[in-house]
Amino acid sequence: MRLQLKFNLILAACFVAGLGLAVYPFYLSSRQQAIDQLESQIDVLRAQALSVRKYTQDEVQPLLVDKSQLQFLPQTVPAYSAHTVFRNFSKQFPQFSYKEASLNPTNPSNLAQDWEEDIIKKLKNDTQIVRDVRIRNAANGAFYTVSYPLRLGSEACMVCHSEPAKAPESLVALYGNKNGFGYHLNDLIAAQIISVPMSNANGKIWQSFWLFIGISSVIFLILLVLLDVLLHRMVIKPLTQMASTAQKVSMGDSNVPEYEYRGKDEVASLSMSFNRMRRSLDSAMKMLSQ
């Protein structure tokens, strides 16, 4: 096997080994960046929902409180407003989802599904959890889901959620007296669940991954070509010429000119040593021929 081929195979093996060691950390870094982007999207969606809830509670409820005595208006409920705004938002971005899921909701549309029940029970059993993060696999793909506890934090909320007798008659007439009651102050009433698809994140992860592989491979090939050129010029060519000279001298051709390689490296030192050996050999042959 030629020296240059051995050199290329060693470099290729080093490249593959180095790439193998770098791929996993790079994948983890790319995945974390994608997760951070999903977190940012969720933060924006939650900030929007909280803003709508606060606006409804501070601005809308006081204006419609009198009318709610005659006919209960869902528009005065922060959860209803948040869901309505997000429903309009999801017309343009249907892959995102927002829900204030509850095990005992006033509005049946907020009733928790099976996987949402697990989240609610977890948040209810551990009051120290401020958010639950998980990757949820569904029929339409994987979703990065973050859930936050929603608790009854004010006495004003207890009017509609403590006992049916204390709730507005219009609310009981609309939703009945079976659901949404029996809560106490600071009880977990719902889980604010926001989901964003992992598909875009996974696409960016693999896009970055293959871009990394491609750029690394191109850089390696460029360096390999440059190293091959330098190796041929500084090592292979001088050694080939010295080998050719040595072969001719060994066949008895004493008229072959000496090969001089200028420089101060190992090849130049080998060239000088070879030339001294040849001159010594020529002197010895002349002495033997006398």
Read off the pLDDT of residues 124-133 as tens digits, 9 standing for 90 and up.
888 889 989 9
Taking CA 124 as the corner, what is the angle to CA 121 and CA 125, rounded to the nearest 5 degrees? Answer: 85
Cα 131 to chain centroid, rounded: 20
What CATH superfamily is the domain 207-289? HAMP domain in histidine kinase (1.10.8.500)
94 pLDDT above the threshold of 70: yes
Residue 35 pLDDT: 86
With pLDDT > 90 as the criterion, what percentage of the chain qualifies?
Answer: 9
Residue 120 pLDDT: 92
Residue 17 pLDDT: 85
Residue 68 pLDDT: 62
1 pLDDT above the threshold of 60: no
Domain ranges across the chain: 7-197, 207-289
* Mean residue pLDDT across the chain: 82
Read off the pLDDT of residues 269-282 as tens digits, 9 standing for 90 and up.
777 777 777 777 66
Residue 225 pLDDT: 85
Angstrom distances, CA of residue 194 to CA of 97, 100, 139, 152? 6, 9, 17, 20
